[in-house]
């Protein structure tokens, strides 16, 4: 078996240079994260607020922390100053809460809009209709403390590559639609976060700019 550092290096070698690697370290100890960090990895993704804050406190300050899991509105205040990107904005109510709290803290928080692209019902996310309605609303146009940097989605958990690639293709299509309609003059709207250990090659083929990889780097989670 390869070491964590070797896994980081070989993934970076394989990924096209414009695709960012988010190392998903949920459930893994700080010592594992340090091994990845020492191999040059600077972006880590966690899905729980409490776990992220605990780890951040014990690790180097130049790590970029991304939240990739569902965020409850009552946790927003405690986390936003610790994050460089929230991948998992999945409702208007959550985006509004982030905007309101960020305004109080005099910050601008970078966010991705999470779309529901999979067939499973358990996965969070917007539909394209909901996002279009939100973007056209006056309330949204007054948000000054969130920076929408792109889209995120998770494909159905299946071996069927046709299903996975068509779901990723629809996410990339939503990105282009939003870019044309609302973000043509916003260079920061540039990210398509898609692809995990089992499907990142398909995601990259469909235009991913950010892959979120856990088990392929750190080994299986219990
Ligand atoms: C856990 C998780 C990942 C990483 O999953 P792996 O299959 O271990 O690569 C990516 N994205 C999200 C949202 C996750 O929750």
Ligand 1 pocket, residue 153 CB under 6 Å: no
For the four alpha carbons of 205, 211, 212 and 216, in that order, the dihedral sign comes to positive
Phi and psi torsions of 184, nearest 5°: -55, -35
Compute the distance from residue 197 Cα to the ligand 1 centre, in Å.
7
Ligand 1 pocket, residue 213 CB under 6 Å: yes
Residue with the two structure tokens 């893994």? 28
Q: Where are the domains of the chain?
A: 4-218
Q: At what angle do helices 161-182 and 128-136 cross, to 10 degrees?
A: 10
Reading the chain (222 residues) residue by residue, the pLDDT tens digits are 789 999 999 999 999 999 999 999 999 999 999 999 999 999 999 999 999 999 999 999 999 999 999 999 999 999 999 999 999 999 999 999 999 999 999 999 999 999 999 988 766 899 999 999 999 999 999 999 999 999 999 999 999 999 999 999 999 999 999 999 999 999 999 999 999 999 999 999 999 999 999 999 999 998
- Strand ranges in 53-204 using DSSP code E only, listed in sequence order: 64-67, 85-89, 109-115, 146-153, 191-193
Ligand 1 pocket, residue 197 CB under 6 Å: yes
Q: Looking at the whole model, is its pTM more than 0.95?
A: yes
CA dist 9 and 138 (Å) reads: 46
**DSSP-derived secondary structure letter, 126:** B
CA dist 70 and 81 (Å) reads: 17
For the four alpha carbons of 183, 184, 186 and 188, in that order, the dihedral sign comes to positive
CA dist 169 and 68 (Å) reads: 20
Q: Does domain 4-218 bear CATH number 3.20.20.100?
A: no
């Amino acid at each position: 078996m390869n070491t964590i550092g070797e896994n980081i290096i070989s993934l970076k070698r394989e990924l096209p240079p414009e695709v960012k690697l988010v190392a998903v370290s949920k459930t893994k100890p700080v010592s594992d994260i340090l091994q990845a960090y020492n191999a040059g990895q600077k972006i880590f993704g966690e899905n729980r607020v409490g776990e992220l804050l605990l780890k951040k406190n014990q690790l180097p300050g130049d790590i970029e922390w991304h939240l990739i899991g569902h965020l409850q509105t009552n946790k927003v205040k405690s986390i936003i100053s610790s994050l460089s990107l929230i991948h998992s904005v999945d409702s208007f109510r959550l985006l509004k809460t982030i905007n309101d709290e960020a305004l109080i803290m005099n910050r601008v928080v970078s966010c991705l809009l999470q779309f529901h692209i999979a067939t499973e019902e358990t996965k969070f996310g917007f539909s394209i209709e909901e996002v279009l309605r939100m973007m056209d609303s006056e309330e949204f146009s007054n948000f000054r403390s969130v920076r929408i940097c792109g889209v995120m989605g998770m494909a159905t958990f299946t071996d069927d590559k046709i299903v996975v690639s068509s779901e990723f293709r629809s996410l990339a299509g939503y990105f282009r639609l939003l870019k044309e309609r609302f973000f043509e003059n916003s260079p920061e709207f540039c990210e398509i976060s898609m692809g995990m250990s089992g499907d990142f090659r398909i995601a990259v083929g469909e235009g991913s700019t950010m892959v979120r990889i856990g088990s392929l780097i750190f080994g299986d989670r219990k």
